[in-house]
Amino acid sequence: MNIETLVSLIAIALVLFGVFFYFFYKPAKNVTKEFPRIVFFTAVFIAGFMLNWIGGSRFYSEGRSPREIIKIGSAVITTLQMFVLNAGMDRIESLSIGNLFYGIACVLCYVAAVICTVLLAVHLFFKSLWNTLSLFSLIRSSKKTWIIVGKGVHQETLLKGLTPDQQSNTIIIPNETNEKEKKEYIGRGFLVINGKFNAGMLKKAKFFNSKETTLKETVLIAISEDDVENLEIARTITEHLKTLSDSAHDKLRFSARIMYTNIERVEHFKFSEGAGGRIQFFNPHEITARTFLFDNPIAKFIPPERIDTEKALLIGGFDFLHVFIGFGKINREFLKQSIAANQILGMDYHALVIDKDIKDSQSSFMNQCGGIFAGREERDSGKYFPAPQEEYRIEFMECSALSKEMYDTVISRVKDADASSVIVSLGDVQLSAETAMEFRQRCYEDGITEGIHIFVRADEHSPIVAVDVLNGDAKIKIEPFGFEDAILALDHIEDRYMDILAKHISANYAGTGIMEQPEKMEELINLKWCKITNFDRESNFSAALSIRIKLNMMGFDLVYDKPEIQDASEEFRRVYGFEQAKKLREAEEMERDAEGKIANTIRNNLARLEHQRWNAFHLAKGWMPMPKDRVTAAARKDALTKQHACITTFEGLDELTKLQAELKCKDNPNLDYPTTLKKIDTMHYDCDLMDCLEDNLKSTKYRIVKLGADSGIFEHPCGTMA
């Protein structure tokens, strides 16, 4: 093989490599789109230089040969001319005729250079045209498409976390007309529809056309920093969906996720019920709190010797103190979520909340969670059904997080408690981290080294919250949490991992018969989930949060995607008494002692705990107990006044059931009292969560294991670690 053939083959290989790299290489996250272009140009240029250098050498060998530097310069100039549509064939014609491979290499290199030039011209001067053509191609493809509406910090975090495949199938609607920003988005590899969002955009782009979208799934995410703007987008989508026929609605594979950060009342979301479940709302602060609470169940802070795993009860009393330093959006959400999630039978919910200028935030929170702060005096009279013995002891303190008074107060309260968690979230990452480290130092000085757990909120990764900086050799560890790049990810927003558990819980509670029809299980579950209200979805999320706590109280735990850890489902079934529970579930009964009282069994105690959580969830959502004299034969709740008679103890539920049965039989003397009593009974609903746990875990990567089998570490898909 002569030198011309060898160089030609190398040049062909380089050109083919450059072409394939440009068109098929998928850059990793945060890798610029310029990289494939640079590789393509470099490969073609090197190939062209080699061919022109060989061609020039033969050309000069037929006449006078100049210096070597002139040959190299001439080869560079001739190669650059290829990129401006000048092949320079007059100099290499003789060698092309004599060597087939050289001719093929020259043609390939010239064509590749032209393509490279055209692509560069389009990138520099015809971005809008390229964007339009790409939109046309994506709309008519069967690929799943994401549409991101709005702009801001949250949007930027979401965009940075996209995979290459997600990025190429993502359309951005900035919700305003800005040509400069449009070009910037296109330059980063996104497709853009410029202007204010309206239903016509989606309809024109075929995303609302049922015939076009039968095989195409589309997810819209409204992620503006303005809640009102996002609600307006949701309302626009809802109004259009209402105009579709039932058949068109069923074919449509479109859904929307709408972000909010400041809205508290569920009335703002009620209009979306007309969208047939295609619109769901999410709060990034709420997701952060839920993720943290699921990764850090309160039972893991209680010493094992203080838990009777045979009864799922505490041994003696236990005082766990929640300390919130800072009362911004994150800690407000933490307080609200933890009130329901961190319930343990026989243990009060105890919290201390500290911030400067806290009065307005405190008043707002107490109004929203009115049931939590209602006095017990009237409830302990005969007007209401019995109130649980567990209380809500929440204290608000107006104080600077930097003051000595704050440190002294928290240290004093921590000393008095059996165990404590301190969550520092002051808005500024550096301030939060340094406050947490200063508090740890005070703990050392006061001899507190056990039963204290410190967490610091960090919205992004930085050297300030690096593990080696925060902890080093410290005995008391400070754990960062709440990284937004883990929370604001497409997979998480669109189908949060905890959604799976919540959906299954909803289906079992609603009695859709998923165990009887396993082949239709997911279809039934998703159908039910789409039809329930936003409040009911939140209730099921709250139930999902409590699963690890209930398992911990039995001596078990939940792990995610860890096949190397031995499954303990069989032992769980034995400890729980699954066979007996199955019989009781089918009969819709509770196990009782000889006197007819609810028996002290592990199943009953976990059901009590579930009802206690349900009570706390409703109270934190502003619901109140219903007076006995307002209960009727047909109703035990009033959504208008937000009163519910089931906000009581298990014994109170017994009393409520008997009262309603008596009222029904009084209205209709033909009814049989024992049969009516059984039909009205609600306590068996509280058993569903643990009775159906294994079925709820079937289509997930969650598995039941022995507590401690995972060394107390739970890695959640969202990226946080407990």
Does residue 252 contact residue 218 with C-beta atoms inside 8 Å? Answer: no
What pLDDT is attached to residue 27?
A: 62
What pLDDT is attached to residue 333?
A: 93
Give yes or no for residue 412 having a pLDDT over 90: yes
Residue 452, strand partner residues: 420
State the architecture of 127-282 in CATH terms.
3-Layer(aba) Sandwich (3.40)
Three-state SS letters, 603-619: HHHHHHHHHHHHHHHHH
Residues 427-464: pLDDT tens digits? 889 999 999 999 999 999 999 999 999 999 988 778 88
Q: Which residues contact 348 (CB under 8 A, 6 or more apart)?
A: 319, 390, 391, 392, 393
What pLDDT is attached to residue 375?
A: 73
82 vs 111: CA distance, rounded Å: 9
The two structure tokens encoding residue 179: 């040509």
186 vs 325: CA distance, rounded Å: 42
Give yes or no for residue 59 having a pLDDT over 80: no
Q: What's the average model confidence in pLDDT over 645-649?
A: 94
642 vs 639: CA distance, rounded Å: 5
With cut-offs at 50, 70 and 90, classify the pLDDT of residue 114: confident
Q: How large is the C-alpha radius of gyration of the chain?
A: 33
* E strands present in 482-568: 556-560
168 vs 162: CA distance, rounded Å: 9
209 vs 354: CA distance, rounded Å: 52
Q: Nearest CA to 709 among 579, 566, 588?
A: 566
Domain ranges of the chain: 3-125, 127-282, 491-704
721 vs 487: CA distance, rounded Å: 13
Percent of the chain scoring above 70 in pLDDT: 87
With cut-offs at 50, 70 and 90, classify the pLDDT of residue 718: very low
How far the first Cα of the chain sits from its last, in Å, is 64
283 vs 261: CA distance, rounded Å: 6
pTM of the model: 0.80
Q: Which residues contact 591 (CB under 8 A, 6 or more apart)?
A: 580, 584, 598, 599, 601, 603, 604
399 vs 406: CA distance, rounded Å: 6
Give yes or no for residue 413 having a pLDDT over 90: yes
Give yes or no for residue 494 having a pLDDT over 60: yes
For 721, which DSSP code? Answer: B
For 150, which DSSP code? Answer: -
Q: Nearest CA to 117 among 88, 79, 74, 89?
A: 79
Residue 31 or 410, more confident: 410
What pLDDT is attached to residue 98?
A: 66
Instruction: Give the rounded distance of the alpha carbon of 229 from its chain centre.
Output: 22
Residue type, 309: T
508's enclosing H/E stretch is helix 497-510
SS3 191: strand
Give yes or no for residue 380 having a pLDDT over 90: no
Three-state SS letters, 204-262: HCCCCCCCCCCCCCEEEEECCCCHHHHHHHHHHHHHHHHCCCHHHHHHCCEEEEEECCC
Q: Nearest CA to 145 among 74, 221, 92, 89?
A: 221
5 vs 13: CA distance, rounded Å: 12
Give yes or no for residue 64 having a pLDDT over 90: no
Q: What's the average model confidence in pLDDT over 397-425?
A: 95
Residues 343-370: pLDDT tens digits? 999 999 999 999 999 999 999 999 999 8
φ/ψ bin of 98: left (φ > 0), alpha (ψ from -120 to 50), beta (otherwise): alpha
For 81, which DSSP code? Answer: H
Residue 25 or 412, more confident: 412
List the Cα angle 649/655/657 in 5-degree steps: 105
Residue 596 or 647, more confident: 647
3 vs 7: CA distance, rounded Å: 6
399 vs 415: CA distance, rounded Å: 20
447 vs 113: CA distance, rounded Å: 73
What pLDDT is attached to residue 155?
A: 92
Q: Nearest CA to 482 among 500, 462, 460?
A: 460
Q: What is the mean pLDDT of the chain?
A: 84
Q: What's the average model confidence in pLDDT over 486-508?
A: 78
Residue 521 or 199, more confident: 199
Residue in this structure with the two tokens 């009590």, named with its chain if needed: 608
What pLDDT is attached to residue 363?
A: 94
Residue 280, strand partner residues: 257
308 vs 581: CA distance, rounded Å: 20
Phi and psi dihedrals of 425, rounded to 5? -145, 95
For 519, which DSSP code? Answer: G
What pLDDT is attached to residue 68?
A: 67
With cut-offs at 50, 70 and 90, classify the pLDDT of residue 630: very high
Question: How far from 203 is each of 198, 213, 240, CA to CA, in Å?
Answer: 9, 11, 9
Give yes or no for residue 719 having a pLDDT over 50: no
Residue type, 180: K
Does residue 336 contact residue 425 with C-beta atoms inside 8 Å? Answer: no
What count of other Cβ atoms lies within 10 Å of the Cβ of residue 488?
A: 26
The two structure tokens encoding residue 499: 């959604």
Residue 160 or 575, more confident: 575
Q: Which residues contact 520 (CB under 8 A, 6 or more apart)?
A: none
Q: Which residues contact 431 (CB under 8 A, 6 or more apart)?
A: 401
Does residue 245 contact residue 252 with C-beta atoms inside 8 Å? Answer: no
Taking the CA atoms of 513, 518, 520 and 523 in sequence, report the sign of the dihedral they define. Answer: positive
Does residue 197 contact residue 175 with C-beta atoms inside 8 Å? Answer: yes
